[in-house]
Amino acid sequence: MDDKRYDINDDEIRVIAPGSNDSTPHQKGKGRKAPVILLSSLGLLILGGLVWLIIISNSPGEPSPTQSIPPSQTITPKASESNSLPAELDAFCKVVDTTINNSALKIFIPRFATPVLEIGKGVPNDSSIVLAAMAADVRGDNGEIAGAYVLKGNLISKGQAKAGFCSIINGEISIGVAEATPMLEQALETEGYFFRQYPLVVGGQIVENKPKGKALRKALAEYDGATCIIASLDRLSFLDFARTLVDLGVKNAIYLPGGDSPVIFMDNEGDRSVLGNLRSSDYENVNYIIWR
């Protein structure tokens, strides 16, 4: 059969439908569509770029790739940068009640305070006291302080009435037992403090003493990493008191005047309290270990 599809006279018009098998016209249409598609894609690309620029210009700035984002921090000003010390750094006395071997004890632990020695009846009236208790014994025959006593580098009394001692040198307090100790000389040379008392505990071991009676007892002790005052609320012998301190976990301790001698203390709310009797001694040389 002759294919006369391409035989077109001068006075004829031929319309070729899409999908026709006529390869030549179809290829010409495809060639015209390619630039249109390319231009459309380019237009969409340009439009997308413009939209992205508008979004970026309205968004908050972001760090550049070379910058690092610091972690969240909480900054607490140093005490020196503040007009007043924060409440947790104010000096106060922590009080702990406990029972050891059926004996009730009260533990007074000074916080953020410096120890000193002072002499005089009016000492307990000082409102700046954080913790205070009587220190060295006063002799009943002449009213003098028993044993060596150093106040701000001055030798007030001398002698060795008891083997236990307490020294305060450059604000650091030490408790020990020794008939002769370089701490006495250091206290004299550094305007420090020194007094003697009965030893109760040394290196976690009981020290026996001659007094055998029972009374309310007090001690200056090293306990739980701090120097504190421990008072018994029951009448105990020296030996029972020392054993109770050892069972509590005290490393070193010396005796302080007991009975109704006062312990003055101030809690973290600023409230002042007294355990005992403020008028328990009328001696002029009554003396105290004090934390302020």
Q: What is the pLDDT of residues 203-229, one digit of tens each?
A: 999 998 877 899 999 999 999 999 999
160 pLDDT band, cuts 50/70/90, is confident
User: Does residue 136 surpass a pLDDT of 80?
Assistant: yes
Where is the domain boundary, 39, 59, 79? Answer: 59
Residues 32 and 118 in one domain: no
42 pLDDT band, cuts 50/70/90, is low
What pLDDT shows up at residue 123?
93
CA 276, 156, 129: angle at the middle one, nearest 5?
35
What pLDDT shows up at residue 108?
98
Number of structural domains the chain divides into: 2
Let me know if residue 203 belongs to a domain: yes
Let me know if residue 138 belongs to a domain: yes
Let me know if residue 98 belongs to a domain: yes
Residues 91 and 54 in one domain: no
Residues 246 and 104 in one domain: yes
Let me know if residue 3 belongs to a domain: no
Residues 277 and 192 in one domain: yes
State whether the Cα torsion 59-61-63-69 is positive or negative.
negative
Mean pLDDT score, 250-259: 97
Residues 124 and 228 in one domain: yes
Give the range of the structural domain holding residue 47, as residue numbers without chain letter: 27-59
Residues 45 and 101 in one domain: no
Who contacts 199 (Cβ-Cβ below 8 Å, separation ≥6)?
A: 162, 163, 164, 177, 207, 209, 253, 254, 255
Residues 164 and 43 in one domain: no
Residues 150 and 266 in one domain: yes
47 pLDDT band, cuts 50/70/90, is low
The whole-angstrom separation of Cα 230 and Cα 178 is 22
Residues 99 and 32 in one domain: no
Residues 55 and 190 in one domain: no
Q: pLDDT tens-digit profile of 162-211?
A: 999 999 999 999 999 999 999 999 999 999 999 999 999 999 999 988 77
